[in-house]
């Protein structure tokens, strides 16, 4: 083929193209004819036109009469070769056991992590996607501002909105409103087999309208979604409830709902499939009632009465902007009509949020379910990518290193006639084999890990990635991509060896600078993650250890049924209360206090860890009488301060001796916290005592005491300004401070007392410290996941380091022997090997430290109270990684360094 190329001949590449398409046995004469023609053309037409003609003539050979002549032999060779590539790869796999183990281990561990993360991420993104019209459903949220400050931003909206939406807006197909209620405040009784009335325990329910199923498509097992809720006082229950309470035969049965004021009977017209776990609306029961006519103030329901969560189904996704404009106009025209005095000066606006991104992005007040964390999801995706790249890096590093080992065989193959293409194909086959092996291993491990993963992440088992056909195709694509990513670079390195030099065993080693860069990347990632873990641990324990200013330890909370009959009366200036229930509540508290081991008991409207959804705007005469200052409100009794150990800084607590403390809506005595004194412009707590503050709408409150600013919410948030009012009636929670015995005794004791006073009400209790700690659940998850991943990255990084070292030891066994003979000590030899890697790890530090510092600084900014980024938070991980790295390297070298040099020198 290389004969006679001396002619200043035709351009080469058209002929190379010819070689590709032309059968071997015809190639020579055709090429000859083309060259002959070219040479004559050069004489007749000149060089340029001849070249063009040659190109054209060559291309014309791409025709079936030529190409089809080599079809059959072509396929035969390929199949045969691919089979041989597989054989070679399999042999290599078995022969270089350590290399294979490291690669398969690294790849499969990272793949397990990726598959599990994928599962979690897919679940989080799948929220509410099961509704038929999911992409056209929006939720209307409400933002209330006062003097340009947002005072309420929540998922509830007003009664008038859904009415207006259903009648006046052509772009909306349907609008439905749901109002949640649950076993905390409502009783549901059903008739069991013996016709006895039995209460339902722990239910979640929504009162909906007849339009509900025009918007949502929760699947029904029995009943037709078109008709089930058409009549008032009908209801649907879940499959589980139907089985548990009605033995699967619920249709036509009924139950009664008592909310403290009245009892209503509902007829069951259908059974729902249990609500999918990726729905942000979760319920066991749906009821449909008559629309309410009287509001909280005992007036007729108007536009501005709080309704529930409203969802609209748009006719078309493009109409969203139009609807938003119209809602803005509606708000503009109706805001002047607010006539409840509480709303004085407030401006409400409405926002639309697509159903699908409520779960990850909404984070408003009054969410139906704790929202997920989008930043956690994105952090996870990033971690998955990092860990996958780390495993690819290992593969790339080790297989380029090992290719030096196989260099002779590559040289021989090249001399015998292997093309670059076939060498590339062979290396890729090898990486495909590794990836298929790893992915199989990963799938098996994921299958085994799934149950514990489900309980850790909250993703239901049935939602497995592995049991979904489309995902299996995804997995296949993933394997191919992974094989390419890990195999492509080594393939080109190997294919580019010159045969003769390869046979001689000479290599230009400088091209392996890339290997060093990759090692630096791996360790930079590992170090950053370890620093992040450390900071996350520190920040979380800092927040949990921080003095809250309120005692949450050894406090038991019991949910109270707030069943006081209260009626608003303008003439009396407040509620008139039928106090039979609150008298019982007081007796219960007395009963608790009388027992040894219980220190105190109190009732309160909101417990620490809850943001009170109450609040009132005050004027601060001393600063700016025109401006409104919002304080959060909490209702407490006389024993709130002593039970939860909140300190009085000035003034006095509520007292039985002052009847005026009870007050009414127009005139009250209040306690405020220190944050509130500052907001209202008092310089010291003492200064605030006996000062009168007036609400924006005109009520007059006297400050009788100032308490310390305790953390009502987690330490992630700043302390809120709060005022406390005395509410002797029953409130939502009882808090009981117990001491001196273990918790189970306290629970039993409290249960007995509870049943004495409230025999009909279930005893629902929990511990305040655990409840408070739930606010850190995402921080905890983040910390756990980051620490797991930093462990994984350091593991994979060390695997790579281990492989590289053992390879270079293998290559330098003789050198070590000679050095020892010349008098080198074991530590000299360890230093010889560790120096190179030390340098890499140090460079990795230089890359990782600034990045980690900046990233963590930004992350910490989202916390109101944060740790300082001390230097040791960065130094410890660096030392840790250095030690682990040196240990990984030197453990292997030690074996060789301590060996008798005679043995290593003798081996040939």
Partner 1 sequence: MAKEYLGEFEELVLTLVAALQEDAYGAAISEEIETKFKREVNLSAVHVTLYRLEDKGYIKSKMGGGTNERGGRRKRIFTITSAGMAMLRAMKETRLELWNMVPQLKMSGL
Binding site for partner 1 (CB under 8 A): 3-5, 7, 9-10, 26, 28-37, 39-40, 57, 60-61, 63, 65-66, 69
Q: What is the CA radius of gyration of the chain?
A: 38
747: left (phi over 0), alpha (psi -120 to 50) or beta: alpha
CB within 8 A of 130, min separation 6: which ones?
A: 217, 276, 278, 279
Pick 18 or 215: Cβ nearer partner 1 = 18
559-to-204, 759, 901 alpha-carbon distances in Å: 15, 14, 78
- Contact between 220 and 268 under an 8 Å Cβ cutoff? The reply is no
154: left (phi over 0), alpha (psi -120 to 50) or beta: beta
CA 587, chain centre distance (Å):
46
Least Å from the CB of residue 41 to partner 1:
11
How many CA atoms are closer than 13 Å to the CA of 338, on its beta-carbon side?
19
- Contact between 457 and 449 under an 8 Å Cβ cutoff? The reply is no
Pick 68 or 887: Cβ nearer partner 1 = 68
Least Å from the CB of residue 29 to partner 1:
4
Least Å from the CB of residue 71 to partner 1:
14
Pick 40 or 294: Cβ nearer partner 1 = 40
Least Å from the CB of residue 14 to partner 1:
13
Q: What is the DSSP letter of 300?
A: B
Q: What tokens were used for 314?
A: 């748009």
Least Å from the CB of residue 33 to partner 1:
4
- Contact between 208 and 286 under an 8 Å Cβ cutoff? The reply is yes
Pick 30 or 699: Cβ nearer partner 1 = 30
Least Å from the CB of residue 67 to partner 1:
11
**Cα distance between residue 388 and residue 82, in whole Å:** 27
Sign of CA dihedral 355, 358, 362, 366: positive
- Contact between 630 and 538 under an 8 Å Cβ cutoff? The reply is no
Least Å from the CB of residue 2 to partner 1:
10
Pick 37 or 780: Cβ nearer partner 1 = 37
620-to-92, 147, 679 alpha-carbon distances in Å: 81, 14, 8
**Cα distance between residue 820 and residue 375, in whole Å:** 55
Pick 60 or 196: Cβ nearer partner 1 = 60
Picking from 285, 96, 271, 289, the residue whose alpha carbon sits closest to that of residue 177 is: 289
Pick 25 or 408: Cβ nearer partner 1 = 25
Least Å from the CB of residue 32 to partner 1:
3
Phi then psi for 464, rounded to 5 degrees? -65, 135
**Cα distance between residue 281 and residue 283, in whole Å:** 7
Pick 27 or 757: Cβ nearer partner 1 = 27
Pick 35 or 134: Cβ nearer partner 1 = 35
Pick 57 or 642: Cβ nearer partner 1 = 57
Phi then psi for 41, rounded to 5 degrees? -65, -40
Least Å from the CB of residue 6 to partner 1:
9
Least Å from the CB of residue 416 to partner 1:
25
Picking from 771, 408, 833, the residue whose alpha carbon sits closest to that of residue 608 is: 771
Picking from 833, 717, 709, the residue whose alpha carbon sits closest to that of residue 779 is: 717
Helices (H) and strands (E) in the chain, counts: 28, 27
**Cα distance between residue 477 and residue 471, in whole Å:** 10
Pick 66 or 198: Cβ nearer partner 1 = 66
DSSP-assigned beta bridge partners for residue 178:
309
Q: Is 290 exposed, middle or buried, given 0-12, 13-18 or 19+ CB atoms closer than 10 A?
A: exposed
Least Å from the CB of residue 60 to partner 1:
4
CB within 8 A of 847, min separation 6: which ones?
A: 520, 524
Least Å from the CB of residue 499 to partner 1:
24
The total number of residues shown for the chain amounts to 908
148: left (phi over 0), alpha (psi -120 to 50) or beta: left
Least Å from the CB of residue 43 to partner 1:
10
Least Å from the CB of residue 52 to partner 1:
14
The continuous run of DSSP H or E covering 746 comes out as helix 743-757
- Contact between 760 and 594 under an 8 Å Cβ cutoff? The reply is no
Least Å from the CB of residue 419 to partner 1:
21
Pick 69 or 511: Cβ nearer partner 1 = 69
- Contact between 88 and 80 under an 8 Å Cβ cutoff? The reply is no
**Cα distance between residue 419 and residue 400, in whole Å:** 19
Pick 69 or 692: Cβ nearer partner 1 = 69
Alpha-helix runs per DSSP H in 365-505: 374-405, 407-416, 420-457, 469-495, 499-504
Pick 12 or 656: Cβ nearer partner 1 = 12
Q: What tokens were used for 289?
A: 């009632």
Least Å from the CB of residue 57 to partner 1:
5
How many CA atoms are closer than 13 Å to the CA of 369, on its beta-carbon side?
15
Pick 5 or 858: Cβ nearer partner 1 = 5
Phi then psi for 663, rounded to 5 degrees? 55, -170
The continuous run of DSSP H or E covering 308 comes out as strand 306-314
Pick 10 or 663: Cβ nearer partner 1 = 10
Pick 32 or 597: Cβ nearer partner 1 = 32
Least Å from the CB of residue 468 to partner 1:
52
Least Å from the CB of residue 36 to partner 1:
5
Pick 21 or 437: Cβ nearer partner 1 = 21
């Amino acid at each position: 083929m290389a004969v006679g190329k001396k002619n200043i001949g035709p351009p080469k590449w058209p002929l190379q193209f010819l070689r590709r398409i032309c059968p071997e046995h015809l190639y020579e004469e055709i090429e000859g004819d083309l060259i002959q023609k070219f040479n004559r053309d050069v004489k007749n037409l000149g060089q340029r036109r001849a070249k063009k003609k040659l190109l054209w003539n060559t291309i014309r050979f791409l025709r079936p009469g030529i190409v089809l002549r080599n079809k059959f032999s072509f396929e035969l060779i390929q199949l045969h070769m691919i089979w041989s590539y597989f054989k070679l790869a399999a042999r290599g796999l078995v022969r270089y056991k350590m290399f294979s183990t490291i690669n398969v281990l690294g790849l499969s561990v990272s793949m397990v992590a990726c598959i599990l993360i994928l599962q979690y991420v897919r679940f989080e993104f799948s929220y509410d996607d099961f509704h038929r019209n999911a992409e056209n459903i929006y939720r209307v949220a409400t933002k209330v501002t006062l003097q340009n400050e947002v005072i309420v931003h929540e998922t509830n909206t007003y009664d008038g909105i859904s009415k207006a939406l259903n009648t006046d807006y052509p772009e909306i197909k349907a609008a439905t409103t749901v109002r949640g209620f649950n076993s905390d405040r409502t009783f549901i009784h059903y008739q069991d087999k013996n016709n006895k009335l039995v209460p339902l325990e722990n239910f979640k329910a929504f009162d909906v309208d007849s339009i509900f199923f025009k918007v949502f498509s929760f699947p029904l097992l029995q009943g037709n979604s078109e008709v089930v809720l058409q009549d008032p006082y009908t209801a649907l229950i879940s499959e589980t409830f139907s089985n548990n309470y009605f033995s699967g035969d619920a249709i036509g049965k009924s139950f009664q709902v008592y909310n403290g004021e009245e009892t209503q009977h509902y007829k069951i017209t259908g059974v729902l499939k249990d609500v999918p776990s990726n729905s942000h609306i979760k319920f066991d029961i749906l009821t449909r009632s008559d629309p309410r006519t009287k509001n909280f103030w005992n007036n007729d329901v108007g536009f501005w009465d709080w309704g529930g969560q409203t969802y609209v189904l748009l006719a078309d996704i493009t109409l969203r902007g139009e609807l938003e404009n119209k809602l803005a106009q509606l708000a503009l025209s109706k805001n002047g009509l607010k006539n409840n005095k509480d709303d004085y000066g407030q401006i409400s606006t409405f926002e639309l949020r697509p159903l699908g991104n409520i779960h990850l992005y909404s984070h408003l007040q009054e969410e139906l379910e704790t929202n997920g964390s989008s930043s956690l999801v994105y952090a996870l995706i990033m971690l998955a990518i990092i860990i996958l790249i780390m495993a690819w890096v290992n593969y790339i590093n080790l297989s380029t290193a090992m290719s030096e080992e196989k260099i002779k065989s590559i040289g021989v193959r090249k001399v015998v006639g292997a093309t670059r293409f076939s060498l590339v194909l062979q290396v890729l086959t090898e990486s495909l084999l590794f990836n298929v092996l790893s992915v199989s291993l990963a799938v098996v491990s994921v299958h085994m890990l799934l149950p514990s993963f489900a309980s850790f992440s909250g993703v239901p088992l049935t939602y497995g990635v592995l049991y979904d056909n489309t995902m299996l195709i995804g997995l296949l694509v993933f394997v191919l991509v992974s094989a390419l990513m890990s195999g492509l670079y080594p393939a080109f390195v190997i294919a580019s060896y010159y045969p003769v030099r390869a046979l001689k065993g000479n290599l230009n080693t400088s091209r392996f600078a890339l290997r060093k860069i990759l090692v630096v990347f791996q360790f930079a990632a590992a170090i950053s993650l370890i620093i992040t873990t450390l900071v996350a641990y520190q920040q979380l324990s800092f927040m949990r250890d921080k003095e809250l200013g309120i005692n949450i330890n050894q406090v038991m909370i019991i949910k109270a049924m707030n069943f006081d009959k209260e009626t608003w009366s303008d003439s009396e200036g407040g509620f008139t209360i039928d106090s039979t229930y609150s008298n019982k509540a007081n007796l219960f508290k007395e009963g608790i206090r009388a027992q040894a081991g219980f220190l105190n008991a109190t009732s309160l409207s909101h417990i620490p860890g809850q943001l009170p959804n109450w609040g009132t705007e005050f004027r601060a005469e001393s600063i700016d009488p025109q401006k409104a200052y919002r304080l959060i409100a909490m209702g407490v009794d006389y024993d709130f301060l002593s039970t939860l150990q909140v300190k009085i800084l000035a003034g006095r607590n509520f007292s039985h001796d002052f009847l005026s403390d009870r007050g009414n809506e127009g005139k009250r005595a209040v306690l405020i916290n220190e944050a509130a004194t500052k907001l209202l412009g008092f310089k010291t707590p003492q200064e605030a005592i006996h000062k009168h503050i007036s609400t924006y709408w005109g009520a007059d409150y006297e400050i009788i005491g100032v308490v310390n600013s305790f953390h009502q919410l987690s330490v992630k948030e700043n302390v809120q300004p709060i005022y406390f009012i005395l509410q002797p009636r029953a409130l939502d929670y009882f808090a009981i401070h117990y001491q001196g015995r273990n918790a189970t005794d306290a629970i039993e004791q409290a249960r007995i007392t509870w049943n004495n006073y409230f025999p009909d009400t279930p005893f629902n209790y929990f511990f305040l410290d655990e409840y408070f700690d739930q606010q850190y659940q995402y921080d905890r998850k983040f910390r756990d996941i980051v620490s797991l991943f930093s462990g994984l990255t350091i593991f994979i990084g060390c695997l790579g380091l281990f492989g590289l070292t053992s390879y270079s030891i293998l290559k330098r066994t003789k050198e070590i022997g000679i050095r020892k003979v010349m008098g080198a000590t074991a530590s000299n030899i360890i230093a010889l090997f560790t120096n190179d890697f030390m340098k890499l790890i140090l460079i990795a530090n230089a890359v990782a430290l600034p990045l980690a510092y900046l990233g963590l600084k930004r992350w910490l900014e989202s916390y109101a109270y944060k740790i300082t980024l001390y230097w040791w938070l960065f130094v410890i991980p660096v030392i840790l990684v250095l030690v682990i790295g040196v240990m990984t390297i030197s453990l292997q070298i030690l074996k060789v360094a301590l060996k008798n040099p005679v043995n290593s020198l003798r081996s040939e």
